[in-house]
Amino acid sequence: MVQDPSVLASILARRLKHAGMTIATAESCTGGMIASALTDIQGASKWFNQGWITYSNEAKTNQLGVEEELFCIEEGTAGAVSSEVAAAMAKGAAINSDAQIAIGVTGIAGPTGSTETKEVGLVWVGVYINGEILTKSAEFGHGDRHSNKEAFTTFALRSALEVWEELLEVVEEENEEGEENTQNQDFSREDIKKSLEQFQTQKSSEEDWQGGVAWSDGEDAEIEENSNQELQILDSDIDWEEE
């Protein structure tokens, strides 16, 4: 699987441009590296709305609307590095930037910060697309702080691309079942489907995503509101452990 953030960012940028959608980012452990990878691309102002580096819990609450209760250090609570916080960060970024897609990331880059249940190298990514949120996690425990941040950034961009494909599968299932489509809604799932049909010449099989990382469904946000040359994401030597 491609491990170069610039390549993954370019694929995501082409999809965004073709679909006429915009993206926002909410970062903690990556310190702005995701936004940097995206805005390194010429013309990013057309599809990149806004980015936040909310390193403290207070910033996550004040800037993104993440509930304070999620950070309580008590047994059974989510904690700052969790699916719930990653999802809330992505949702907050989307709402506050008026973007159709948002990425939220929280993790432990190290060398300190681990707990009894969460080790250095753990990262959670939340990806918001048009009111739906999926979260994904992985563990990278063998690198230093900088290499962990780079791995988190790559993982976040890969996650955004995979969520895009995940929602395409949902569209296909709904069409087969004859369920009502959101044809009159701006940037509907049908828009995503059309975009992917243009760019995606071959979907990655489960074998291509070595080891896989388990998806956990985030809460649906209720908000009012390849080119044929696209690079295939290939296997890498990183061990993606199942959560």
For residue 239, tell me if it sits in a domain. no
Q: Give the total number of structural domains in the chain.
A: 1
- Provide the pLDDT for residue 203: 37
pLDDT, tens digit, 9 for 90 and up, residues 78-106 = 889 999 999 999 999 999 999 999 999 99
pTM for the full model?
A: 0.71
- For the ranges 14-18, 73-77, 237-241, the lowest mean pLDDT is seen at 237-241
What is the pLDDT averaged over residues 200-209?
36
Give the tens place of pLDDT for each residue, 156-178: 999 999 999 987 554 445 454 44
Angle at CA of residue 133, ends 122 and 230, nearest 5°: 85
Segment 34-50, tens digit of pLDDT: 999 999 999 999 999 99
Q: Residues 106-135: what's their mean pLDDT?
A: 90
Q: Is residue 236 part of a domain?
A: no
Q: Is residue 189 part of a domain?
A: yes
Radius of gyration, alpha carbons of the chain? 17
First and final C-alpha spacing in the chain: 19
Burial 113-123 (b: 16+ CB within 10 A, else e): beeeebebbbb
In a domain, 57, yes or no: yes
* pLDDT over 50 at 204, yes or no: no
In this structure, the strands spanning 215-217 and 132-139 are: antiparallel
Residue-wise pLDDT for 103-114, tens only, equals 999 999 988 877
Does a structural domain hold residue 148? yes
In a domain, 123, yes or no: yes
Instruction: Report residue 120 as tokens.
Output: 């250095």
2: pLDDT confidence band, cut at 50, 70 and 90? low
Report pLDDT for 111: 83
- Check which CATH number belongs to the domain holding 131 and give it: 3.90.950.20
- Domain residues for the domain of 133 are 5-229
Task: Please name which of 128, 127, 103, 130 lies closest in space to residue 187, comparing C-alpha atoms.
Answer: 130
Secondary element (H or E) of residue 167:
helix 145-177
Mean pLDDT of 7-24: 95
Residue 9 belongs to a domain: yes
Burial class (CB in 10 A: 0-12, 13-18, 19+), 74: exposed
Averaged over 182-200, what is the pLDDT? 44
DSSP per position, 170-183: HHHHHHHHTPPP-T
pLDDT greater than 70 at residue 201 = no
The more confident residue out of 127 and 228 is: 127
Non-local CB neighbours of 103 within 8 Å, separated by 6+ positions: 23, 24, 25, 26, 34, 90, 93, 125, 126, 127, 128, 156, 157, 159, 160
Question: Is the per-residue pLDDT at 1 higher than 60?
Answer: no
Q: What is the mean pLDDT of the chain?
A: 77
User: Once rounded to an integer, what is the mean pLDDT over residues 129-157?
Assistant: 93
d(CA 53, CA 33): 10
**Cross-strand bridge partners of residue 126:** 104, 135
Residue 215, φ and ψ in degrees, nearest 5: -85, 145
Is 149 a domain residue?
Answer: yes
